[in-house]
Amino acid sequence: MKLIFLGAPGAGKGTQAEAVCAHLNIPAISTGNMIREALKSGTEMGLKAKSYMDSGALVPDEVVIGIVKDRIAQPDCANGFVLDGFPRTIPQAEALDNMGVKIDRVIALEVSDDKIVKRMSGRRVCESCGASYHLLYNPPKVEEKCDKCGGTLVQRKDDLPETVKARLKVYHEQTEPLKGYYKRQGKLYTVDGQEDVADTTKLTLQAIEA
């Protein structure tokens, strides 16, 4: 199954992608995580992307389109994948269509802006594997340590309240129009992402299996 998870920053795309990928045994492809990895490794692309990410802006389309094209050509994507955070603009969605990729469903996670700002302050991510936690809603078993790899949990620079507001603005202007794009293709499934993680996962799985 080939799925896209759409939603505002902090709507729970990464959290839901992880649950669905474990359920379907397919890889999650997070462009945000891939760009952060490139930055950590000091590649030219990563360094170029830094200023965009830190300010809450989108990285240029041609950069992300290239990354995704290479990634989905890998053998582990043959039976499907979840795209988490891509596409984020109409040109990115058109590029995906032009690659001949047949997306089965697009899951749009709906969470209010107020709730997003509150959620982001409690998010912590593993600096080694990128897994995402929340101090209140999804805490790690051991404080400040990743359950999966034992890595250290840190706060993302772009989770500061002012940057989150900038990211929300970008989302409403550039990414939200994708809902109409995929609705016209008959692929859009809306999921209420305001419930707790377990309930949201139930709703997400229902949307995939309906």
Q: Amino acid letter at 132?
A: S
Instruction: Tell me which of 36, 71, 88, 119 is the catalytic residue.
Output: 88
Instruction: Tell me which of 13, 71, 119, 124 is the catalytic residue.
Output: 13
Say how far apart CA 93 and CA 19 lie, in whole Å: 24
Say how far apart CA 82 and CA 24 lie, in whole Å: 10
State yes or no: is 88 an active-site residue: yes
Smallest gap, in angstroms, from Cβ of residue 34 to ligand AP5? 8
State yes or no: is 156 an active-site residue: yes
State yes or no: is 36 an active-site residue: no
Of 91 and 180, which CB lies nearer to ligand AP5 in the complex structure? 91
Smallest gap, in angstroms, from Cβ of residue 111 to ligand AP5? 8
Say how far apart CA 73 and CA 178 lie, in whole Å: 23
Residues in 146-205 at the binding interface with ligand AP5, rule: CB under 6 A: 167, 193, 195-197, 200
106 touching ligand AP5, by CB under 6 A: no
Listed residue (32, 206, 11) closest to 130, CA to CA: 32
Q: How many residues interact with ligand AP5 (rule CB under 6 A)? A: 37
Query: From residue 33 to residue 62, what is the string marking binding to ligand AP5 with x (rule CB under 6 A)?
Result: --x----------------xx--xxxx---
Say how far apart CA 151 and CA 131 lie, in whole Å: 9
Q: What are phi and psi of 186, to 5 degrees?
A: 70, 25
The β-bridge partners of 82 are: 3, 28
State yes or no: is 71 an active-site residue: no
Q: Is 138 helix (H, G, I), strand (E, B) or coil?
A: strand
How wide is the angle at C-alpha 146 spanned by C-alphas 142 and 150, nearest 5°? 90
Footprint of ligand AP5 (CB under 6 A)? 7, 9-15, 30-32, 35, 52-53, 56-59, 64, 85-86, 88, 92, 119, 122-123, 132-134, 137-138, 167, 193, 195-197, 200
Catalytic residues: 13, 88, 123, 156, 167
